[in-house]
Amino acid sequence: MFKSKKLASKSYFNVNYVSYVFIYLVYSSIFVFLNNYFPILFFDVLNINRIVLAFIQFLAYSVLLLRPVFASITDKYKINGYQRKYYIIFSGYLLVLIYILIGFSFTNIISFGFFLILLFLSATMLDVSTKSLIIDLSPTKEKKKKAFFFIAFGQSIGKTIPLFLYLILINDIYSITSWNILFISSYIFLIPLMSFIPFIRENKQEESLIIEMSENFYSSDSNNLTHYPNFRRMFVLLCIFVFFAFSDIIFAFPFFPFLLTKFGTIKFSLFNFFLTFYFIISILSSAIATFVMKRIKPKKIMLILIPIIGIIYILYTIVDFTLFTLLYFTGTSLATITNLNISVYIMKFKKGNKSMYFHLIASFKNVSFFIFLPLGTLLSNFISTEFIIVIGAILLNFSIIPLILIKA
């Protein structure tokens, strides 16, 4: 009986891997539009007051702090016998709907702010539910790595789609009509992909005992950091580490307008063309990360790569276009490897079939976004983006201190 369940689980995981790709393809595409191209639209085309925009971002990103609440809800309450499935379906379709409404309301900053808050609500629920499902159904470290590889694969493709659409459809960045065509085209492309969400599979409540037995069979207490005597200290240090590991988000919103100003329209378009090949590098980086993690502990990988990424950020501010492009691809590749290692590393913090510890730690990434992304937008009104990038590099390197102190 146990063997047949194991065989059934194989095809079950194959279906879910495909679902993870499409979920995060759409998820990633939407946030590329929000983080890469909306800044250009707001800063260079609509000339939105950056202080007002920072306040709206502050409100929207505050929603990310609800991540542990969403995790608790999906842990405690089932829908039709399923722990995560219907949360994923509902939040996935809601995410696309809200994104469509944002595309029709971006010229009104108040409407944009309202829909942006709703978008973050649906995106947070989708991400929490999907990653909780992965935690539930990945009894071994290898399965977790494989699941996150497919997430990274979907994200890589998703980040490329907006680049292609921008290159094809935006001939004049100051034309509102061109931007409207861009957003409508993205709806046509992304909406059909969400039709794959209902195919995601999950064991019903009566089968949960098999999963828990499988987890106990494959996993040892040594792989679960909640069993360490100094667990509380490690938990606090990990939260601080994650907070600073994503603090480089401080220059994310003014970054693309900075590139447009620094290199000009022609070179900026050329840079976007080069970025269309990013998904190849990102997929290779995810594969390399999965391979390296089998031989080197995630903590050691992060201690090596984070300082290198910080140096690359500082070099962004002084190099010419050619070298910047090479450094950008190198930096984003190393960041992909680092982020995958962070995800796998903090997934050790799990207790039984509850994902609360993981999401509490992961929520400090959202705390970082909540503080530093609006702060970066606000600072761009007073200081140069180059200086903000340097601040981001310094903050990122602060994450090394708590990581060193973690004894696991």
Largest Cα separation within the chain, whole Å, is: 66
Query: With 0-12 CB in 10 A as exposed, 13-18 as middle and 19+ as buried, what is 189?
Result: middle
Q: What is the CATH number of domain 15-405?
A: 1.20.1250.20
Average of per-residue pLDDT across 260-264: 90
pLDDT of res. 220: 42
Average pLDDT of every residue of the chain: 81
CA 136 to chain centre: 20
Q: Indicate whether 209 pLDDT > 60.
A: no
Evaluate if residue 231 carries a pLDDT over 90: no
Q: What is the pLDDT of residues 94-113, one digit of tens each?
A: 999 999 999 888 888 888 88
How far apart (Å, rounded) are the C-alpha atoms in residues 161 and 21? 14
Q: Which pLDDT value is given to residue 139?
A: 65
CA distance 198 to 9: 18
Find the mean pLDDT for residues 353-362: 66
Please name the helix (run of DSSP H) or strand (run of DSSP E) that holds residue 40, with its range, or none. Answer: helix 38-40
pLDDT at 351 over 70: no
Helix or strand or coil: residue 399? coil
**Predicted pLDDT at 221:** 42
Mean pLDDT of 134-140: 72
Backbone angles phi, psi at 351, to 5 degrees: -130, 115
Lowest mean pLDDT among 218-222, 241-245, 312-316, 349-353: 218-222
Task: Provide, rounded to the nearest whole percent, the portion of the chain with pLDDT above 90.
Answer: 22
The pLDDT value given to residue 161: 86
- Does residue 294 contact residue 341 with C-beta atoms inside 8 Å? no
pLDDT given for residue 11 in this prediction: 52
Does the pTM exceed 0.75? Answer: no
> Do the Cβ atoms of 243 and 25 come closer than 8 Å?
no
d(CA 7, CA 5): 5
The whole-number average pLDDT for the span 367-390 is: 92
Residue 389: pLDDT band (50, 70, 90) is very high
How far, in Å, CA of 274 to CA of 249, rounded?
Answer: 22
Question: What pLDDT shows up at residue 393?
Answer: 94
Contacts for 229 with CB less than 8 Å, ≥ 6 apart? none
What is the structure's pLDDT at 279? 66
Residue 4 pLDDT > 70: no
Q: Predicted confidence band at 372 (pLDDT cuts at 50, 70, 90)? A: very high
Name, in order, each residue with C-beta under 8 angstroms of 299's C-beta and a sequence gap of 6 or more: 345, 403, 406, 408
pLDDT reported for residue 277 = 76
Share of the chain above pLDDT 70, in %: 84
- pLDDT for 255: 92
pLDDT of the residue at 128: 87
349 in Cβ contact with 241 (< 8 Å): no
Q: What pLDDT is recorded for position 2?
A: 41
Q: Quick: pLDDT tens for 6-52.
A: 444 455 567 778 888 888 899 989 988 888 888 888 888 888 888 88
Q: What is the mean pLDDT of residues 381-403?
A: 93
Greater pLDDT, 285 or 190:
190
| Inter-residue contact 375 to 331 (CB < 8 Å) | no
pLDDT given at position 218: 36
Over residues 60-76, the pLDDT tens digits come to 888 877 877 887 888 78
> What is the pLDDT confidence band of residue 3, given thresholds at 50, 70 and 90?
very low
- Return the domain boundaries, the chain: 15-405
Is pLDDT above 90 for 387? yes
Instruction: Please name the helix (run of DSSP H) or strand (run of DSSP E) that holds residue 93, with its range, or none.
Output: helix 85-103
Ranges 243-252, 270-279, 287-296, 337-346, most confident:
243-252
